[in-house]
Structure 1
Amino acid sequence: MQLPTPAKGEKIAYGADSLQFGELRVPAGKGPFPVVVVIHGGCWLAQYNYQYMNHLSEALANAGYATWNIEFRRVGNPGGGWPGTFQDVAQGVDYVRELAKKYPVSAKEVVVMGHSAGGHLALWVAGRKDLPRSSEVYTRSPLKVRGVVSLAGIPDLATYSAAKGSCNSAVEKLMGGLPTTVPQRYQQGSPSPKLARKATVRMVQGALDPIVPVSQANNFTEKSSARGHGIKTVLLPQSGHFDLVSPASPVWPTVAQAVKEALGKK
């Protein structure tokens, strides 16, 4: 099914660089509305941008959520990779506080949603409070989020980088080396194992995904859920990689339900 071109959101800069911006979509009505921060994938590479997440962003806005679809510097952009990509995503998420001053959106009801490489960044940004102050990607007083929806996310960069594939090989470019050469970066750039103690996490994963294996979601969930926290893998048996971001897909209601759960709603 071909979806119509989504209406443009309001383009707003969160930083000085030309790639530090997001598109804000706010539902009709009084608000304040809960916010879904949308982080696109594309193997962390410059040739892929935020626009393929516009249909998803519009669908969520039509369902009553404000959406903040952010762009950021990526591998191939000046300043992209480590640490710029991480710094941009952190800055973009924290900017929800500024949006709440001007628009009917709530900085206290925030879910971060990411797809593929963006799923890695969504999981990372939600748990960065645990970073040491000495880290290049440390942020003072990061925005607290209610939950995370990882759509075919990649929480284990080290394992993913060891497998064959064009997206797998992009990890080394992102981090500026392999785990054996820059282990501290992998430690600081991977999602916190304590994340599920503080936020509700839904690892939505297609069983037929040829790009991100199911083990990425399952292993992260198992390590966290062993402690009895609010994380689970939502496995979609007939879905591939991009079904998860299409509102025309049969699995879209499951994705929408994951957003509700991440906000603490049934």
Structure 2
Amino acid sequence: MPEPAWYEQQYNPRLSVPNFADFFQRWAQEAQQARQHLEYQTLPYGPGPKETLDLFPAPHSRALLVFIHGGYWRAFDKDDFSWIAPPLVRAGFSVAVINYALCPSVSIAEITEQCRRAVAWLYRAHPQPLIISGHSAGGHLTGEMFATPWADYGLPSRAIVGGISISGLFDLEPLIQVSFNSDLQLDAASARACSPAYKQPTVQAPLVLAVGALESDEFHRQSRLLKEAWPAICTEVIALPNCHHFNVLDALTDTNSPLWEPFLRL
């Protein structure tokens, strides 16, 4: 087994992107501007104080993009990611940015359940085709949404028409070795239970997997692992050129990017 320092280098993108804080600042500023200039509602989807979402409706909406933010399940807030909405709304896609409680106050399993509640609530309240998307930890949660028995939540089998997972994590066992597992509190059993790569997909719709070309070998391996586990719905891993773990998210806002090819005919 590699040394803990190897896992840290592979799974902590801040170590390889020196100006990572600039992206956090830009996200927050552009998100605030988006909320000032775009119609939206903040809505509760569940009983917890963090179980809210921001809904940015598009006129004559083609589909509803559900976005699940990253931050290793322990950082950020929906308010940091409103900036993804304006270009997608202009392209005819409504956008819902989900909030959820963070580790260590809750487990990754509970965060997953909150996201399921959000997706189910959105479809009941605003029924239209759903595209589930997420970045980093949100990419993992996107995978978990594709392994959810949605009939148990009252959703029809075709409610979700696709997904986009960017820099997702699908086997959580390596994270037992990282320093921030003090917040995640993963052990072998919980890591396995929260790993989409060891489950079967319940959603039979295309799931696009993407990773920045400049990301670590392990981030690339994580997406390949899910492609191999779910070949019927994950047909390729898109390596986005000149992208690291933080600027790779910009591709989601560009409907001309290869991420969007399966969905533009909705």
**Among the aligned pairs, what percent are the same residue?**
18
- Aligned positions, number: 232
Aligned position for 1:190: 195
Q: What is the aligned partner in structure 1 of residue 161 from structure 2?
A: 146
Deviates more, 1:113-122 or 1:141-150: 141-150
Structure 1 unaligned regions, length at least 5: 101-105, 131-137
Q: 1:178 aligns with which of 184, 187, 206?
A: 187
Q: Distance in 2 between matches of 1:17 and 1:197?
A: 27
Structure 2 Cα separation of the partners of residues 59 and 196 of structure 1: 30
Which residues in structure 2 correspond to 1:6-45 (within 5 Å)? Answer: 6-8=34-36, 9-27=40-58, 29=59, 31-45=60-74
Q: CA separation of 1:7/1:112 partners in 2, compared to 1, >3 Å: closer, same or farther?
A: same
Determine whether 1:259 maps to 2:260: yes
Unpaired runs of 5+ residues, structure 2, are: 1-22
Q: Which residue of 1 aligns with 2:235?
A: 231
Distance 1:173 1:145 in 2: 31
The answer to whether structure 1 residue 97 and structure 2 residue 120 are counterparts is no
Give yes or no for contact 1:211–1:241 (8 Å, CA) kept in 2. Answer: no
Tell me which amino acid in the other structure corresponds to 2:242.
Answer: Q
Q: CA RMSD in A?
A: 3.0
1:199 Cα offset (Å): 1.8
State how far apart, in whole Å, the 1-side matches of 2:256 and 2:172 are.
Answer: 24
The answer to whether the 8 Å contact 2:171/2:191 transfers is no
TM alignment of 1:205-216, pairs within 5 A:
205-210=211-216, 213-216=219-222
TM-score normalised by length of structure 1? 0.75
CA deviation map 1:166-215 (0-9, x unaligned): 5xx33x743x4311xxx2x3344222643287120111100212596211
